[in-house]
Chain A
Amino acid sequence: MIEAIVVEHGGIRRKLLMQVNNAVIAFLFILLFFTSCNKDVIVPWKSKLYLEFVHTYNDKNILWDTLIYSTCNSDTISVSKIEYIVSNVILYSKNNSFKQNHSFYINPRQNKIILELDSISGLYYDSLSFTLGDNHPYDSLNMDIVSMQWPMMMGGGFHFLKLEGYYRKNTMPTGFAMHTGGNMLKPIKIVLKYPIHITKSNHTLLIEHKVEQWFNGKQCYKVSAANYSMGIDSLMQIINENGRTCFRITQLK
């Protein structure tokens, strides 16, 4: 009887010891796992929002280098280049806002444009704003942004926009260039109302860039009358004004 109790007692001790060992090893293993090379911390309640810019002309994906588009004064144009800087992206809700300070260089001919807003903590936003242009994008001075510099001799800063192409003049394609920017002008603020309901870890917001609006916005920009905006403040003011109407959110995915 006593022997049986001792044996049973010994068995329980062994079992207990084994469980303790088991727990210690498991704990060490978990500790080792989290202190090993993978330093990523998963924060499940933060989301990523990707902003995808889609470039259209008259509601259809833009066809580059093709002299088919008509503007407000019936100029026939093609578009060969659009480069711009997007900065100060802000999401708004009634009680909250989320701001992304980085500046992004956008060139739809180089690659698909997707901006990443990381660690968004809110659940519901009702609008998005961003600035077209930035005169101080020094946080990410990559080569593309450097090539957008506005020379110091003309006031310094950065191009907000370079939009270039050709228009038909006496049957011959002739160049035009709409550039705006520099420290002398305020960057163009874009505000877009749209319900942005964050329900999962990754969302994509499709933003349509309606290129025709640079010509057909609040004021008619007549390419054939003034095919270069550079050095002409009044033309750059028209471009900036029209720029406010060039973007709209089409979908949250």
Chain B
Amino acid sequence: MCRTNIGIIVILGSIFLFEECKKKNDLTEVNANVCTLDTSSYDLNIPLYFPDIPACNKINLKKAKVELGKKLYYDLRISSFGKNCSSCHVQSQSFSNPSVNSLPHINLVFNKNFLWKGKVQTGLLDVMRFEVNDFFNTNPAAIQNDEEYKNLFCKAYGTDEITNEKIAECLAQFIATIVSGNSKFERYLRGEAILSDSEFNGLNIFTTEKGDCFHCHALPLMTDNSFRNIGLDSMFTSSNWGLYQYTHYPPDKGKFKVPSLINVALTAPYMHDGRFQTLEEIIDFYDHGIKYSPTLDPIMMKYNRLQTGLQLTEQEKIDLKNFLLTLTDSSLLVNIKYK
């Protein structure tokens, strides 16, 4: 009787412990005959002064998944129409592409809101799910028989089964590693570079009420991750609804994602519809081109700005542009980690 009780207790205890441990540890089922699972972690090098990665993007980065994600990023078979991620996100253009006016794939792991109109606002992995399932209409069968992929999926997952969910996860892992934090301005912040007088004056305009760029393009990511109507238009139709297109909340009309200005010199054309071709045009717009609408961001109406403009002098405009040029991180453009 006693032995039976002890037996039952031990069995129940073991089941309980096994279940508890199973919950807390990564499942590492391995098809021992075919695959060797590589669970080694990928160390993300986060620049000084960068914020913590938001909870929605706390991804457990694995070397094997990042490597696989990189291959998928450049593989035309990922879509049903012969395009891949790099078709719209070219490394030499800061992972953007002027022909489609795409938002750069840099520092996205620090973002909470994605895409110009905020179609996805729940994390990097969800953006990649959207891209794989809805945008690319990815068919895993297209790469199912590729021996290299079989090996890479084996390393990443312990099985060579390929699914859209795994493809999305690996793309998210790779994109999470694209971190830009080595522009002249960032080196200046770290005490490794000196700004010229003109660049410094531009910084002053950028980060004071004079130019008032900093409220939206908050340092160090050069975006506050918000959606704003900055006064590009005074009337709204379906082509420029912005965030309203997905929220159907009238105060969201004309609001678009505030883009990061890191590498801004490389990401022309500008604005959600690419209406401006140069930095000079942008500066002129902010100086005296803002249009009123009922949802215009309050910050854009500051000090009678609608009537008087910013009143920047020509020299101040040059200084502001020179500061914006210090945001170029050339090392990112040739970094072999991302090729």
Q: Which residues in A have some Cβ–Cβ distance to B below 8 Å?
A: 18, 21-22, 25-26, 29, 32-33, 36-38, 64-65, 80-81, 140-143, 145-147, 149, 151-154, 164-166, 172-177, 227-228, 230-231
Contact = CB atoms under 8 A, between A and B. Distances in A.
B274 interface: no
B300 A36 contact: no
A36 B225 CA distance: 41
A22 B301 contact: no
Given A38-B20, A146-B218, A151-B208, A175 B302 contact: yes
Contacts of A29: 9-10, 13
A26 B10 CA distance: 9
A140 B300 CA distance: 30
Contacts of A152: 207
B205 to A, nearest CB: 9
Nearest to B17: A36
A143 B225 contact: yes
Contact of B218 (A38, A149, A174): A149
A147 B299 contact: no
How many B residues are at the interface, by size bracket?
Answer: 35 or more
Interface string B186-213: 0000000000000000011001110010
B47 interface: no
Contact of B2 (A22, A38, A145, A177): A22
Given A22-B2, A153-B207, A37 B303 contact: no
16 contacts: A29-B9, A32-B13, A37-B21, A37-B25, A143-B54, A143-B221, A151-B219, A153-B208, A154-B207, A154-B209, A165-B298, A172-B292, A175-B300, A177-B298, A177-B299, A228-B303
Interface of B: 2-3, 6, 9-10, 13, 17, 20-21, 24-25, 51-52, 54, 110, 112, 203-204, 207-209, 212, 214, 218-221, 224-226, 251, 292, 294, 296-303
Nearest to B294: A173
Contact of B301 (A26, A64, A147, A175): A175
A170 B165 CA distance: 54
Given A37-B24, A146-B218, A149-B219, 5 more contacts: A80-B251, A81-B298, A147-B218, A175-B299, A230-B209
Contact of A143 (B3, B25, B112): B112
A143 B208 contact: no
Contacts of A80: 251, 298
Nearest to A148: B218
Given A80-B298, A175-B297, A176-B298, A65 B208 contact: no
B262 to A, nearest CB: 14
Contact of B20 (A37, A65, A143, A149): A37
Contact of B299 (A33, A143, A146, A164): A164
